[in-house]
Amino acid sequence: MGGSGSTHGSRKVSFELDEQEQVRVLQGIRLSEDVVNRMKEKSQPKQDQRSQEKSKVSTGICPPTTESLGQKPSEAKEELYKRYEQEQAMVQEELLRLAKREKEAVSESLGAALQQERICAREDKQKASHLNSEIYKLTLDQYNEAVTNAEDQIRKRNTQPICANLQEAIMECYNENKQQVLNCSELVKEYQRCVRLAQKELLVHFD
């Protein structure tokens, strides 16, 4: 609290200040609350104005606006829309790329499966061809062996004259009876019977 005074003519005026440096006592009379409030109201706008000015001076930074950025609201919306379209195009392109990769992977898998199937089919065909060749070779060998055996048997039979003793007897009879060959007729008949019998035996053997 402080006090001070002034003289106006012969009249002495005194006052006191409170903690807020405002006049509370004038000529020994305390001021009413109403007067004090009116004095506060008059001083409050000045204080608010000073505080705002101080805040502006202390920071010196104001939030940017569309006007300060040199863009109108319509231009800002158009810019956002363009950016949205670009992002959508990028997403669409990425989806197409992934779909293409998946399709290529499926194609590669199918191609590998078809290639493996072709290899297996080729191997089976080669095995079947080899088996047929073996069967043909075995059959041919068996046939050749059978033919050889038959030829050997026929050759053996051909090397052994049929009714050889009768042939010799007829030859001697012809030599001795050159003028009377009828004397050898009985030997000839006997030789014929021997030949027919040998033929029958040969036919029975081949059947």
Q: For 35, which DSSP code?
A: H
Residue 138 pLDDT class (50, 70, 90 cuts)? confident
Q: CA nearest 14: which of 25, 27, 24, 23? A: 27
Would you kindly state where each structural domain of the chain is located, as residue ranges? 79-154, 163-205
What average pLDDT score do residues 114-142 get? 78
Model pLDDT, residue 57? 46
Residue 4 pLDDT class (50, 70, 90 cuts)? very low
Model pLDDT, residue 2? 47
- For residue range 145-197, list pLDDT tens digits in order: 776 777 676 666 555 667 888 888 888 888 888 888 788 888 888 988 888 88
Distance CA 128, CA 120 (A): 12
pLDDT at 201 over 60: yes
Model pLDDT, residue 77? 84
- For residue range 8-28, list pLDDT tens digits in order: 444 454 555 555 555 555 555
Model pLDDT, residue 1? 47
- pTM of the full structure: 0.26
Residue 106 pLDDT class (50, 70, 90 cuts)? confident
- For residue range 38-77, list pLDDT tens digits in order: 766 665 555 555 555 555 444 444 555 545 555 566 888 8
Distance CA 39, CA 31 (A): 11
Q: How many residues appear in the chain?
A: 207
Instruction: Give me the numbers of helices (H) and strands (E) for the chain, helices first please.
Output: 4, 4
Distance CA 47, CA 53 (A): 10
Model pLDDT, residue 119? 87
